[in-house]
Structure 1
Amino acid sequence: MTFQTEKEIIRAHHRALASATADTIPAALAEQTHPDWQWRGMHPWHEQRGAAAVAAAFWQPFLNAMSRVQRREDVFFAGRNQIDGFQSVWVVSMGHLMGLFDAPFLAIRPTRRIAMLRYAEFHRIEGGKIVETAFFCDLLHLMRQAGQCPLPPQTGAHLIQPGPATHDGLLHTPQPEAEGVRTLDLICRMIGAINEHQVFSGPQEELAQHWHDDMLWWGPEGIGATFTIPRYIEQHQRPFRTHLADRAFNGHIARLAEGSYGGFFGWPNLSLTPKGGYMGLPAGPRADMRVVDIYRRDGDKLAENWIFIDMLHFLNMQGLDVLARLKLI
């Protein structure tokens, strides 16, 4: 299956959004979506139903705040969902929504400068319509661009994160089926290694099974980006495993691959108990992480990984209202 029909639905959807205003965005969203469209968004939007509700929750406030918005897409692929036995077809888009930050958005102050909101979308297509969407974006990353930093310093780097080093992430044309199978199999084996990490002599051996040594891990704001296996261990994996206890994997809603690209999301993926120290914050009650991972495979190992986490929801479950804290900064 080439997924060309499903890809064109999403490309048409993006074209409609590109020419929409805050006034016309409800109609633009309705063009390619089912009337009962299920939309999952980050905190504070959470779950919405139908184009009008999605427009009111996210798109109208965003377009009122950001002028001259452009979609700077870096990754685009489609595939059948392993989680439901390869029954449903999903299309994935990742990149930045770029604009001029001219008016307040949520509690984030405008800068009148260029701003780039990292995003990742998973769309399920059925009957020629978008029936389900997961929309992840990095609000902490946008806050940092605006000079509002509500959290302690992070372990990784803050960057406007680029697309694939190979510049081949936009899979608009059909891809060899066998390549997608290889990518999905590698992702699944990597997940298995995480769940059984105790069988390895240490994190270096565990990661080397499935990752190139010069891996790039494009983590979300609050954690940050890291480069190479040793620095990934130092700047993300060790703090994550040391300061978060009782990790429970709740599963994924979608997991798919095409060509050398693949990814997944959950709602939530993980439940954990902060012991104190993670992201520089004190211990807190058990909380959920809604996570997106998108990967690029190079040969028989993974080379790049882009991660989105609903950090505001994770922190809100622990009693920290980041959007309220912004008003004090």
Structure 2
Amino acid sequence: MLDFQREKNTVLGYYADLDAAEGQGITDVLNAHTTADYTWRAFHPFHLQSDVETVSELFWQPFKQALTHSQRRMDVFFAGQNFMDDGASTWVCSMGHLMGLFDSPWLGIKPTGKMTMLRYAEFHKIEESKIAETAFYFDIPHFMAQAGVNPFPHQSAAQLVQPGPTTHDALLFADADPVDGQKTMDAMNFMISDLGQWQSELPLEEELARSWHDDMIWWGPTGIGATFTIARYARQHSGPFRAGLSDRSGTGHIARIAEGAFSGFFGWPNFTARNTGGYLGLPPNDKECEFRVIDIYRREGDKLKENWVFIDMLHFFMQQGVDILERARAT
């Protein structure tokens, strides 16, 4: 029986201290819970950092000053051995929302004084009860939309504050049966190998049905949105995505884990592609662009049922010459 209690408790202790900290205390928390060679990866405009004081001053202190009375509303929590290094490392995944009152400007976004949520997903690599690496991916355009800013007028699917799993059972504070975790890893790996290169000769909906339930839910990022059922997913995301983008690379996953019915991965970047067909209202071009992504999955039976997706839309648009945050500052 696999035992992830030490790794899970490491992250839960970090969250308890971080969520209670303010100002310089945030730096102290990061120093206490991370290794000397800590690596922190985040979405634009924060990117890759290796100094906890920078992480504190660049992200956490301004964010907590802007979003007062903040609290963590966690929907998913699980751990696993990393498939990408044959189980040599253990990672803990958390997903949910950071909620508070948007009382001061953040990233040039004007405050509303209202309850606002930052949708997030996180992977932590644990070494000797310390956090050695973090991938902290968050949906800033989703935050912007709640503040009344519409950065993506061509969004094809639904704009929602996104809930956790239908089953409400994804907070795996106790370790799950590893047999279930292997089934979930197998389902995720089959989907990645089957769909990952967009090379099937099957019609798109038939291709998707090989690894997804017909009533799947795809909780996508603002700019694309959330969509329900294979047919609507094909129409509102997968079809336009494939039509707009070409020359997709293989996956560049750093971590891929599963526990119980839940799994996920992240990369830096996950893949590259070219916007040769025009995507999300952008004009076509031949520039190769990175896609930074976290995917979280829920398996039901032998297929995937729900998928929460975090894509660095700001970074993708910056590579296309469009600064979404600068546009927000101008409004």
In the alignment, residue 308 of structure 1 is paired with which amino acid?
Answer: F
For 1:305 and 1:151, the matched residues in 2 are separated by 21
1:192 is aligned to 193
* Residue 328 of structure 1, CA deviation: 1.9
C-alpha contact (below 8 Å) 2:78/2:173 kept by paired residues:
yes
* Residue 105 of structure 1, CA deviation: 0.4
1:254 is aligned to 255
* Residue 248 of structure 1, CA deviation: 1.1
Return 5+ residue gaps in structure 2 as ranges.
Answer: none
Q: Sequence identity, in percent?
A: 52
For 2:105 and 2:134, the matched residues in 1 are separated by 26
For 1:309 and 1:135, the matched residues in 2 are separated by 12
* Residue 270 of structure 1, CA deviation: 1.3
2:24 is aligned to 23
C-alpha contact (below 8 Å) 1:215/1:304 kept by paired residues:
yes
For 1:313 and 1:112, the matched residues in 2 are separated by 28
For 1:15 and 1:195, the matched residues in 2 are separated by 37
In the alignment, residue 45 of structure 2 is paired with which amino acid?
Answer: P
For 2:196 and 2:43, the matched residues in 1 are separated by 26
C-alpha contact (below 8 Å) 2:197/2:250 kept by paired residues:
no
Equivalent residue runs for 1:214-229 within 5 Å? 214-229=215-230
> Which is worse superposed, 150-159 or 136-145?
150-159
Equivalent residue runs for 1:43-122 within 5 Å? 43-122=44-123
Matched, 1:291 2:288: no
C-alpha contact (below 8 Å) 1:62/1:105 kept by paired residues:
yes
For 2:196 and 2:100, the matched residues in 1 are separated by 40
In the alignment, residue 304 of structure 2 is paired with which amino acid?
Answer: L
For 1:96 and 1:211, the matched residues in 2 are separated by 26
In the alignment, residue 289 of structure 1 is paired with which amino acid?
Answer: F
1:151 is aligned to 152
1:313 is aligned to 315
CA displacement 1:152-185 (0-9 Å, x = unmatched): 2300100000000000010000111111111001
> Which is worse superposed, 125-134 or 188-197?
188-197
Q: 1:328 aligns with which of 303, 327, 330?
A: 330
1:203 is aligned to 204
C-alpha contact (below 8 Å) 2:268/2:292 kept by paired residues:
yes
> Which is worse superposed, 246-255 or 211-220?
246-255
For 2:201 and 2:5, the matched residues in 1 are separated by 41
CA displacement 1:72-91 (0-9 Å, x = unmatched): 00000000001011100000
Return 5+ residue gaps in structure 1 as ranges.
Answer: none
- Structure 1: 4+ residue segments shifted above 4 A: none
What SS is found at the alignment partner of 2:79? strand
For 2:199 and 2:42, the matched residues in 1 are separated by 34
CA RMSD of aligned residues (A): 1.1
Normalised to the residue count of structure 2, the TM-score between the two structures is 0.97
For 2:30 and 2:265, the matched residues in 1 are separated by 24
> Which is worse superposed, 63-72 or 188-197?
188-197
Q: 1:301 aligns with which of 300, 303, 309?
A: 303
* Residue 192 of structure 1, CA deviation: 1.0
C-alpha contact (below 8 Å) 1:197/1:206 kept by paired residues:
no
* Residue 50 of structure 1, CA deviation: 3.0
In the alignment, residue 173 of structure 2 is paired with which amino acid?
Answer: H
Matched, 1:270 2:271: yes
